C-alpha cells in the first residue's frame, strides 16, 4: 500500500467563497505534488457513494445535499507521509477546534461546510482516488 499519496476535495463552500487558489497554494507550499486534479460537480449518486460510510449518521442527508450543491476540486496528492501530513494541514473536522494556521481554521464555515476533505488512511486514499480518477488521468 502506497504511503505517499492522499486524496482531497476542495468542497463547494471553498469554491463558492473564492478560496480555491489560496488553498491550492497552501497545499503546494506544504510540499505536496499534484498527481491528478479536476474541477467537477458531484451527482447525488456519487456523493452518496463517496460518503456511504456515514450513511447512518444524522448529518448524511445534509452532507450529500451540500456536497452536490456546487463545483468541487478533486485531487490526488503526493508527499512522504501524505495522509497524516495532509490531515495536519487541514486541521480538525470542526473549524472551532482546528489549530491556528490550518486550512479549516482559516477557511471553513462550520463543521459541515468545512472547506476541504482529506483521506483518513492509505487504504481510503487509494479507494477515494480511484473513485474520482482513472489510471490514465493520474500523472
Q: Which residues are known to be catalytic?
A: 117
Stretch that binds ligand UDP, among 29-37, 41-49, 74-82, 107-115 (CB under 6 A): 107-115
Q: How many CA atoms lie within 13 A of 44 on its CB side?
A: 3
Among 20-28, 31-39, 77-85, 112-120, the segment contacting ligand UDP (CB under 6 A): 112-120
Contact flag: residue 111 with ligand UDP (CB under 6 A): yes
Segment interacting with ligand UDP (CB under 6 A) among 26-34, 42-50, 109-117, 128-136: 109-117
The three three-digit cell numbers of residue 133, written as one number: 480518477
Where do runs of H (alpha helix) occur along 59-116? 60-67, 82-90, 103-107
Identify the H or E element spanning 127.
Answer: helix 122-132
Check residue 48 for interaction with ligand UDP (CB under 6 A).
no
Integer angstrom CA distances of residue 73 from 2, 56, 58, 97, 101: 22, 26, 25, 24, 21
Instruction: Select 101 or 139, whichever has its Cβ closest to ligand UDP.
Output: 101
Q: Which does 59 bind (CB under 5 to 8 A by kind): ligand UDP, Mg ion, none?
A: ligand UDP
CB-facing half-sphere around the CA of 139: CA atoms within 13 A: 10
Q: In the complex, which residues of this chain contact ligand UDP (CB under 6 A)?
A: 54, 59, 63, 93, 111-112, 114, 117, 120
Contact residues: Mg ion, CB under 5 A: 120
Amino acid at each position: 500500500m502506497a504511503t505517499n499519496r492522499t486524496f482531497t476535495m476542495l468542497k463547494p463552500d471553498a469554491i463558492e467563497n473564492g478560496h480555491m487558489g489560496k488553498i491550492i497554494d497552501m497545499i503546494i507550499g506544504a510540499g505536496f505534488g499534484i498527481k491528478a486534479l479536476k474541477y467537477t460537480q458531484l451527482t447525488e449518486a456519487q456523493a452518496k457513494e463517496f460518503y456511504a460510510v456515514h450513511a447512518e449518521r444524522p448529518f448524511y442527508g445534509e452532507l450529500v445535499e451540500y456536497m452536490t450543491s456546487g463545483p468541487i476540486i478533486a485531487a490526488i496528492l503526493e508527499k512522504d507521509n501524505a495522509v497524516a501530513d495532509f490531515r495536519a494541514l487541514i486541521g480538525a473536522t470542526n473549524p472551532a477546534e482546528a489549530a491556528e494556521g490550518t486550512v479549516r481554521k482559516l477557511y471553513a464555515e462550520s463543521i459541515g461546510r468545512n472547506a476541504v476533505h482529506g483521506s483518513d488512511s492509505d487504504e481510503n486514499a487509494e479507494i477515494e482516488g480511484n473513485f474520482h480518477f482513472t489510471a490514465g488521468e493520474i500523472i
